[in-house]
Structure 1
Amino acid sequence: MSVRVQQYARAGHARTPSRMSLIQCIRHIVQTEGPKALFKGLGPNIVGVAPSRAIYFCTYSQAKAILNQNIPPDTPIVHLSAASAAGFVSCTMTNPIWFVKTRLQLDGQHVTALQCIKRIYAKSGIRGFYKGITASYMGISETVVHFVLYEGVKARLIAARSVDGVASDQRSPRDFIEFMGAGAFSKTVASCIAYPHEVARTRLREEGDKYRKFWQTLHTVWMEEGYRGVYRGLGTQLVRQIPNTAIMMSTYEAVVYLLTTHFNNSFYENT
């Protein structure tokens, strides 16, 4: 999340012109709202992570399998299309969860997730939970860049370990460490390229009418805060995303490998 404090979160009110570092922001939040404020939105975040990842990887795997059957397999267009489909489905189905999480993080008052949901629904109805979804859709570009780069790096790593040009189906701990590195590298590049959508999405989820549309939001931020404004919070984002993505991609590859090995062994044992 971008560097936000209570004064920032009010219906388009003027923002502090000075730029705060991660440490300064943490200190300010603790001083003004107490240590518990550092964990605002944790509930929806925990609730949203599992279904979001499950929906994403399920859609990605299925789309990739279908595309591989109809066009040249494992090409960049396959990875790009599968990642786009997965991002679209995941964003659409889980946006209300992330919307509530962001509102809780921005709100200076001590409200529960249920109170926040009731307030949003009373003011805007169901549509209120999808405010900022345009920015989420624009963020699919980050996912596309991430997966295209990841699959490319992964293919090169596997090729480098192949014997006589034939890739082995066996995996060692070294393979999964390399997958972690590939995930971290690809996510870093993707985040740096597409980060402004994160700023736009967070601003759109604030209360008030100052930020209404995706491009209007980015233009407003750019005019008021310059290029630093549209990249505000990038350092915090990278600190959060890089280790998370590295572990996630390695875990994904490990689960796929274990399930594939298990079902293949079961198939041969029963035939």
Structure 2
Amino acid sequence: MEFWPEFLASTSGSEFVAGGSGGMAGVMAGHPLDTIRIRLQQPRLPSSSAPDSAIALIRHIVATEGPTALFKGMASPLATIAFQNAVSFQTYALLSRALVDPSKQAQAQHQQPLSYERVALAGIGAGTIQTLILSPVDLIKIRLQLQTARRSVRGTSSLGPLTLARNIFRKEGIRGLYRGWGITVLRDAPSHGVYFGSYEFIREKLHPGCRSNGQETLLTMLTAGGLAGSLSWLCCYPLDVVKSRLQAQGGVGGSGTRYKGIIDCFQISVREEGFHVLFRGLGTSLARAYLVNGAIFSAYESTLRFLSPRSPPQSETNLGLRPISP
């Protein structure tokens, strides 16, 4: 009976719940644009009549498949994003504390916020760890987002996330569910370094001193989170295109195995469609990233403040994290 009050009162517990809240807010805010991004990233077949622009594609999907098609595959990330995002933010928080300069720990009252370099390093670690959860979830989501478009062409029936996951596991094993894990790590590790590092940098520039006192406004959180998300996508977007194509192919619910690996997918895509294919859908992704990550950080910060209204000791505040109860 005492577990939840004690868990929420702890630093780890409040960070875990806040991370989950932020993740769910991000999924609900940006899934329709995520569907557009995934559709735009797929190979263009000679017989395809799919529009090339985001606005035209939205109109086409709504007209031919109905507005609910924009939310196809949302159940999979929504069911797991709370845990995934909680793991990501919790790992980041733990690594941030672990990376505090030992020579300054004895002088906690005069400790400065964690350097941006160490914030980025903690972000890289967080991004790497969370791919263990994200990779199979992303694979299911991508195949569900493309399922409606393929169904009319191939005459296949629509599958739910659990059925699709079970079928992939039965036919391909655990390797099938983790198809594209390598490229997911290559995408997420550095992008999370940019993500957390730029967030800390931008919010400090917008609201000087907030890394120490945690008193920035909601507008600062929305702006810093949105810009950080957009920057993180900008630096890794070509890898995301390759990842989406690799995870969309093969096995149950896929489009047939066409690419042998990361390099092969890159070479075939560029040879057939030009280098610009690596940036197809970038505008949609940046708009989505701004919206989603503004929601994520705002929900994360707000949840932490709600769960832990008291100010912590100076040694915890200066880690560049939010004020939380000990």
Common fold by TM > 0.5: yes
Under a length normalisation based on structure 2, what TM-score does the superposition of the two structures give? 0.69
1:175 partnered with 2:217: yes
Q: Which has the higher contact order (CA 8 A, sep 6+)?
A: 2
1:28 partnered with 2:28: no
1:45 partnered with 2:77: yes
Q: Displacement, 1:64?
A: 0.3
Structure 2 residue runs of 5 or longer lacking an equivalent are: 1-33, 105-112, 152-157, 250-255, 314-326
Deviations 1:97-155 (A, max 9, x none): 22111111122232211221122112211111111111211112222112211112223
Question: What does residue 244 of structure 2 align with?
Answer: 202
Q: Please tell me the residue identity of whatever aligns with 1:145.
A: V
CA contact (8 A) 1:41 1:100 kept: yes
3-state SS of paired residue (1:262): coil
Task: Quickly say closer, same or farther: Cα 1:125–1:239, change in 2 above 3 A.
Answer: same
Question: What does residue 101 of structure 1 align with?
Answer: 141
Map 1:80-229 to 2 at 5 A.
80-107=120-147, 108-109=150-151, 110-140=158-188, 141-159=190-208, 169=213, 171=215, 175-207=217-249, 208-229=256-277
Structure 1 residue runs of 5 or longer lacking an equivalent are: 266-271
Q: Please tell me the residue identity of whatever aligns with 1:176.
A: L
CA contact (8 A) 1:196 1:231 kept: yes
CA contact (8 A) 1:179 1:249 kept: yes
Q: 2:90 and 2:214 mapped to 1: Cα distance?
A: 23
CA contact (8 A) 1:3 1:20 kept: no
Cα root mean square deviation, aligned: 2.8
CA contact (8 A) 1:29 1:37 kept: yes
Q: Percent identity?
A: 28
Q: 1:133 and 1:16 mapped to 2: Cα distance?
A: 29
Aligned length: 254
Q: 1:250 and 1:36 mapped to 2: Cα distance?
A: 27
CA contact (8 A) 2:230 2:287 kept: no
Deviations 1:197-251 (A, max 9, x none): 2111110012222123223222222221122211111122122221111121123
Q: Displacement, 1:33?
A: 3.5
Correspondence for 2:293 among 238, 245, 253? 245
